[in-house]
Structure 1
Amino acid sequence: MKRLFLSLSILVASATAVSAQVEIGIKVSPSVTYLRTDAASTYQFKDEKSQLGFGGGLIVDYFFGENYAFSTGLMLTGKGGTYSYQKDYRALNPNDPLIPKGDVQKLSTQYLELPLTVKLFTNEIAPATRLYFQLGGSLAVPIGARINGEKRYTDPDTNEETTALSHVLFIDANALVAFGAEYQLGRSTKLLAGLSYHRGLVNLDHYFEKTRGFSDVTIKNNVFALDLGMKF
């Protein structure tokens, strides 16, 4: 009987220690997003405007040391921006003179995103307050898109209609760096606030080269976000 109670005590203590290593919470992230574009000079791609975005979701911090944690979760994020391009075309037949014709597109995309990062925490810099620094990346899949506010897009040059989502590659990857502070509000409740930068690494263009025959077109996401959250 004593051995049974001892075993149960060890099991409970182990479970408590394991659960104390994992912190789960929620986060919202209003952001400023824009697109980095690059292409052959013929097409004159230009970054025009940024736009406001919003994200949020679940955060999970798994501590493998007092001041070190593997941080992941599942986020719904909005990204995008406005860009312009221009291409010479012949109005009626190959013998017509070349005429410049351009277009401006506002691309807005929603992603389901999985962060894969490491968080480094300082000791308390004030009562119940610690700073954190976060490094790593994220993988994301697009679940929705709009061009100029519409789910479908009619190309002004070809008059062909496509879905906005078909313009975006099926996956995205980002480098992520962030810093902020956590405040211990209660026994297991913490508030957090910070800033993060998400730099797109993948060319998301799935239209201009594939459908229009443009060459060397690159469009990548960029996000500056304000991170506000609570862990329970």
Structure 2
Amino acid sequence: MKKALFALALLMAGAATTATAQVEIGLKVSPSITSLRVDSPSGRAFASDGSKFGIGGGLVVDYFFGQNYAFSTGLMLTSKGGTITYRDQTSPTNPDEITRTQKIGLQYLEIPVSVKLFTNDIATDVKLYFQVGATANASVGARVNEGKFFTDPSTGVELKASKHFIIPDAALLGGFGAEYQLGQSTKVFAGVSYHRGLFNIDRYFEKERNVSGVSIKNTEVALDFGIKF
């Protein structure tokens, strides 16, 4: 009985060691260029009119279920947004149309749900990786024309910028890069990732201005730099 318990203890200890070795945790920083994909009825002439620079970062967790295969997740704080233009009435008392511009800045908490595929070493301690999956995002902040509040010049109504957008978003994720083993458990990596937003994040034009058919979606291209311990 004692031998059986001792063998079981050794087995559990070995399993715990193996499980620990399969998980790599690190930190990542991601400067990015973001923009907004815009669609609307032709009369309103909504259009994307520029990108913005953002920066994000957070925790990376890679769980290996094979030598070269890992489930990759984490928790990131990311910046998104861009500039849009549209046609609208000049003022509450003047129905003549004018082209307006909105500079939109958004912050999201982001949870990736993805798979990383690693090559064998292409040079000493260097592997390439390819990442594919999606992200689940929740808006935690917004600015319109650099302000947390926005007064629509066409209506004179002021609202919080965060009220212009829905909270949830999701995106398709694809990327690739290289990873270098510095020591026994320390690795650094660098890569490029593309995030294509799936949700129409607009709430203001649909709910407050009764403009149907407007669609605003996030797009992001990021450089990813990180270290895993």
TM-score after normalising by structure 2: 0.96
CA–CA separation in structure 2 for the residues paired with 1:134 and 1:111: 21
CA–CA separation in structure 2 for the residues paired with 1:219 and 1:41: 15
CA shift for structure 1 position 21: 1.0
Contact 2:38 2:215 in 1 (8 A): yes
For the aligned residue pairs, the C-alpha RMSD in angstroms reads 1.4
1:33–1:4 CA distance, 2 compared to 1 (3 A):
same
Partner of 1:49: 50
CA–CA separation in structure 2 for the residues paired with 1:63 and 1:231: 13
Q: 1:138 aligns with which of 135, 139, 153?
A: 135
CA–CA separation in structure 2 for the residues paired with 1:178 and 1:119: 9
1:90–1:230 CA distance, 2 compared to 1 (3 A):
closer
- After superposition, what is the alpha-carbon deviation per residue over 1:49-83, rounded to whole angstroms, capped at 9, x for unaligned? 10100110011111111111111100000000011
CA–CA separation in structure 2 for the residues paired with 1:149 and 1:89: 21
Is 1:22 the counterpart of 2:23 in the alignment? yes
CA–CA separation in structure 1 for the residues paired with 2:103 and 2:90: 23
Question: Which runs of 5 or more residues in structure 2 are unaligned?
Answer: none
- After superposition, what is the alpha-carbon deviation per residue over 1:170-223, rounded to whole angstroms, capped at 9, x for unaligned? 100100000001101110110010000000111000100111011200100000
Is 1:167 the counterpart of 2:164 in the alignment? yes
CA–CA separation in structure 1 for the residues paired with 2:44 and 2:135: 31
Is 1:65 the counterpart of 2:66 in the alignment? yes
Q: 1:119 aligns with which of 116, 121, 128?
A: 116
Q: SS in structure 1 opposite 2:16? A: helix
Contact 2:88 2:154 in 1 (8 A): no
Amino acid at match of 1:20: A
CA–CA separation in structure 2 for the residues paired with 1:90 and 1:197: 39
Is 1:106 the counterpart of 2:103 in the alignment? yes
Contact 2:91 2:154 in 1 (8 A): no
Q: SS in structure 2 opposite 1:209? A: helix
TM-score after normalising by structure 1: 0.94
- After superposition, what is the alpha-carbon deviation per residue over 1:89-140, rounded to whole angstroms, capped at 9, x for unaligned? 7874xxx8x5112311000000001100011111110111110000010010
Amino acid at match of 2:87: Q
Question: Which runs of 5 or more residues in structure 1 are unaligned?
Answer: none
Contact 2:91 2:153 in 1 (8 A): no
Q: 2:195 aligns with which of 194, 198, 215?
A: 198
CA–CA separation in structure 2 for the residues paired with 1:163 and 1:131: 44
Contact 1:113 1:139 in 2 (8 A): yes
Contact 1:58 1:74 in 2 (8 A): yes
1:90–1:121 CA distance, 2 compared to 1 (3 A):
closer
CA shift for structure 1 position 27: 0.4
- For this pair of structures, how many residues does the alignment match? 228
Identity %: 54
CA shift for structure 1 position 7: 2.8
